[in-house]
A and B are shown apart, each in its own frame.
Chain A
Amino acid sequence: MGAVNPGRRLAVLAVCALAVALAAPWIGYGATPPAAAFAPFSGTADAEIFWRFRVPRVLLGFLAGAGLAAAGAAFQAMFRNPLATPFTLGVSSGAAFGAALSIQLGLPAAILWLPGGAVCALAGALLAILIVYGLARSHPERSIAVLLLAGVALSFFFSSLLLFLHYLADFTRSFLIVRWLMGGLQKTDGFAGVLALAPFVASGSAIILAFTHELNLLATGEDLAASRGVGVRRVQAVLFFAVSLMVGGIVALCGPIGFVGMMVPHMCRLAVSPNNRLLVPASLLAGGAFLAACDAFARTIIAPAEIPVGVITALLGGPFFLWLLAGRRRRDRVPGEDPA
Chain B
Amino acid sequence: MNAALAIADLRVHAGDRAVLDGVTLTAGEGEHISVVGPNGAGKTTLLRCLIRACRPASGSIRVFGKDLGAYKPKELARLVGYVPQGDRSLAPFTVREFVMMGRYPYLRAFSPPASSDRDAVERALADTGMEPFAERAMPTLSGGECQKAFIAAALAQEPRILLLDEPTTFLDPGYQDEVARLLTRVTRERGATVVAVTHDINAAALASARIFALGAGTVVYAGSARAFMDNAVLARVYGREFLLAPHPRTGTPLIVPEAPPWAP
The answer to whether the Cβ of B28 comes within 8 Å of any Cβ in the partner chain is: no
The answer to whether the Cβ of B51 comes within 8 Å of any Cβ in the partner chain is: yes
The answer to whether the Cβ of A318 comes within 8 Å of any Cβ in the partner chain is: no
Find the residue from A77, A222, A338 having the highest chain B CB count within 10 A.
A338
Q: Contacting chain B: which of A54-62, A174-182, A225-233, A287-295?
A: A225-233
Contact B88 A228 (CB under 8 A): no
Contact B110 A224 (CB under 8 A): no
Chain B nearest Cβ from A142, distance in angstroms: 11
Contact among A210, A227, A332 for B110, CB-based, below 8 A: A210
In the complex the two chains form, what is the Cα distance from A190 to B89 in whole Å? 48
Contact B73 A231 (CB under 8 A): yes
Contact A227 B53 (CB under 8 A): yes
When distances are taken between beta carbons in the complex, the residues of chain A under 8 Å from B137 are 332-333
In the complex the two chains form, what is the Cα distance from A334 to B139 in whole Å? 9
Contact B91 A223 (CB under 8 A): no
When distances are taken between beta carbons in the complex, the residues of chain B under 8 Å from A213 are 101, 104, 107, 109
In the complex the two chains form, what is the Cα distance from A274 to B137 in whole Å? 10
Interface residues of A in 180-233 (CB under 8 A from B): 209-211, 213, 216-217, 219-224, 226-232
> A229-B104, A274-B92 are known contacts. Are A223 and B98 too (CB-CB below 8 A)?
no
With CB as the reference atom, state the residue of chain A lying closest to B103: A228
Contact B77 A334 (CB under 8 A): no
With CB as the reference atom, state the residue of chain A lying closest to B138: A339
When distances are taken between beta carbons in the complex, the residues of chain A under 8 Å from B168 are none
When distances are taken between beta carbons in the complex, the residues of chain B under 8 Å from A333 are 92, 137
B 125-160 to A, binary, CB cutoff 8 A, 1 in contact else 0 = 000000000001111110000100000000001000
When distances are taken between beta carbons in the complex, the residues of chain B under 8 Å from A209 are 110
In the complex the two chains form, what is the Cα distance from A220 to B154 in whole Å? 13
Contact A228 B53 (CB under 8 A): no
The answer to whether the Cβ of A32 comes within 8 Å of any Cβ in the partner chain is: no
With CB as the reference atom, state the residue of chain A lying closest to B76: A229
Interface size of A by CB at 8 A reads 32
When distances are taken between beta carbons in the complex, the residues of chain B under 8 Å from A229 are 73-78, 104-105
- Count A-B pairs with CB separation below 8 Å: 91
A 224-255 to B, binary, CB cutoff 8 A, 1 in contact else 0 = 10111111100000000000000000000000
The answer to whether the Cβ of B82 comes within 8 Å of any Cβ in the partner chain is: yes
Contact among B73, B110, B138, B139 for A226, CB-based, below 8 A: B73
In the complex the two chains form, what is the Cα distance from A222 to B140 in whole Å? 22
When distances are taken between beta carbons in the complex, the residues of chain A under 8 Å from B89 are 80, 338-339
The answer to whether the Cβ of B80 comes within 8 Å of any Cβ in the partner chain is: yes
> A229-B77, A274-B92, A339-B139 are known contacts. Are A223 and B104 too (CB-CB below 8 A)?
no
The answer to whether the Cβ of A104 comes within 8 Å of any Cβ in the partner chain is: no
In the complex the two chains form, what is the Cα distance from A227 to B105 in whole Å? 10
B 201-229 to A, binary, CB cutoff 8 A, 1 in contact else 0 = 00000000000000000000000000000
In the complex the two chains form, what is the Cα distance from A21 to B26 in whole Å? 62
Interface residues of B in 34-69 (CB under 8 A from A): 48, 51-53, 55
Contact A224 B91 (CB under 8 A): no
Contact B146 A339 (CB under 8 A): yes
In the complex the two chains form, what is the Cα distance from A332 to B139 in whole Å? 8
Residue positions of A touching B, CB distance < 8 A: 77, 80, 141, 209-211, 213, 216-217, 219-224, 226-232, 269, 274-275, 332-335, 337-339
Cβ-closest 6 pairs across A and B? A229-B77, A227-B82, A229-B105, A229-B74, A227-B51, A332-B137
